[in-house]
Amino acid sequence: MIDKSIEFKNPYSFDTAIAMVGDEIKKALENSPLIIRDYTSHLGKATGKLIRAKSLLICSQDASGMIQERAVKVAAAIEIFHLATLVHDDVIDDAPVRRGIVTLNKKYGTRTAVICGDYLLSMALGMITNVFDNDRVPEIKMANLLGKLSLGELNQHINNGNYSLSVLKYLKIIAGKTAALFEVTFYLGSHIAGNNHNQSKKYARIGRYIGMIFQLTDDCMDYEATEDVALKPVKSDFEQDVVTLPLIYALKSSEDVRNKAKNGELNSSLVNKAVRLTGGLKFTRALAKRYKNKAKDILNGLMQDNVKKRNLSMILEASYRTF
């Protein structure tokens, strides 16, 4: 159950709540222990679009669209949790830039970045457990999430350079690596709103589909967007040996591309051309649209036209972005 012993203030509008999330994140990063504060403060220089926080707040809205303060605190924790995964991702990918700033690993070194990422994970978990009392749902969900994220990243790493990777196997990888966090975010938001387990599972399915859409459109971004738009290196997945869906489709569709892969003759120019000529980008976007339609069907079955439905529809539309 929700902790009734903590004193929370009256509910807030969405705009007020999302501003409070930003303040909570800034306060948490800037008030870290002195030994790590330089690093967490550096991470606080550039924030993302807070899509996960916005999603949780919307899922937690009551019938009049108002949001409890506890949802603000959990939303901030989810964003810090996500930030921790990005720090670890940047270490794995040796990425130089994230969100328009130098990555922690490039500025302070790999060991420092790994430890800082671990600290952010513990910070986020602590923030969440402080909101709940005698309610093991968030604890269990977050523990399961850590496992899914770790296995998803490991699965991707194991399959780096695997040009025989199937579409199904790839979708299983991103279901853990990316979609799992969205799934938990939507579930917790619904849980805070007082929905029962079955209702919250439906919210979680919407979150999972949105997470899949985000990753698939991100796969396309690597081929379509500029670095100024992406705020991170683009056309880098192949260089990092990361095999994503557009390339998987190109390999499946073209014997010539498969042969070049077997002979070690693939290069960035060839890959970029192949994913376009074979329709790899079109296929990936079509699959993302299928997830979008599935999410819409669940959303339409969950609620009539109201503030929450309109806001969740906006999140869904934002996930299916083009460049």
3-state secondary structure 60-74: HCCCCCCECHHHHHH
Q: What fold is seen in the domain 1-135?
A: Farnesyl Diphosphate Synthase (1.10.600)
**What is the spatial distance between Cα 265 and Cα 160, in angstroms, rounded to a whole number?**
16
Confidence category of residue 37, pLDDT binned at 50, 70, 90: very high
Confidence category of residue 98, pLDDT binned at 50, 70, 90: confident
* Of 146, 163, 169, nearest in space to 84 by CA: 146
Confidence category of residue 137, pLDDT binned at 50, 70, 90: confident
- Which pLDDT value is given to residue 233? 56
Domain with CATH 1.10.600.10 in the chain: 1-135, 136-323
Handedness of CA 150, 242, 168, 212 (dihedral sign): positive
Contact 223, 281 (CB under 8 A): yes
- Which pLDDT value is given to residue 229? 55
**What is the spatial distance between Cα 85 and Cα 179, in angstroms, rounded to a whole number?**
13
Buried b (16+ CB within 10 A) or exposed e, 150-164: eebbebbeebeeebe
**Residue in the structure block whose two tokens are 């934002």:** 318
CA distances from 210 to 58, 269, 288, 320 (A): 14, 31, 9, 8
Contact 208, 183 (CB under 8 A): yes
108: which 2 tokens? 């302070």
Amino acid making up residue 123: M
pTM to 2 decimal places: 0.91
**What is the spatial distance between Cα 252 and Cα 20, in angstroms, rounded to a whole number?**
47
Q: In the chain, which residue ranges form alpha helices assigned H by DSSP?
A: 14-30, 34-43, 51-60, 69-93, 104-108, 110-129, 137-158, 167-174, 180-192, 197-224, 227-230, 245-253, 255-262, 268-277, 280-302, 307-319
- Which pLDDT value is given to residue 248? 97
Confidence category of residue 50, pLDDT binned at 50, 70, 90: very high
- Which pLDDT value is given to residue 236? 79
Give the class (CATH, top level) of 136-323: mainly alpha
77 pLDDT more than 80 = yes
Least confident span in 21-35, 138-152, 211-225, 299-313 = 138-152
226 pLDDT more than 60 = no
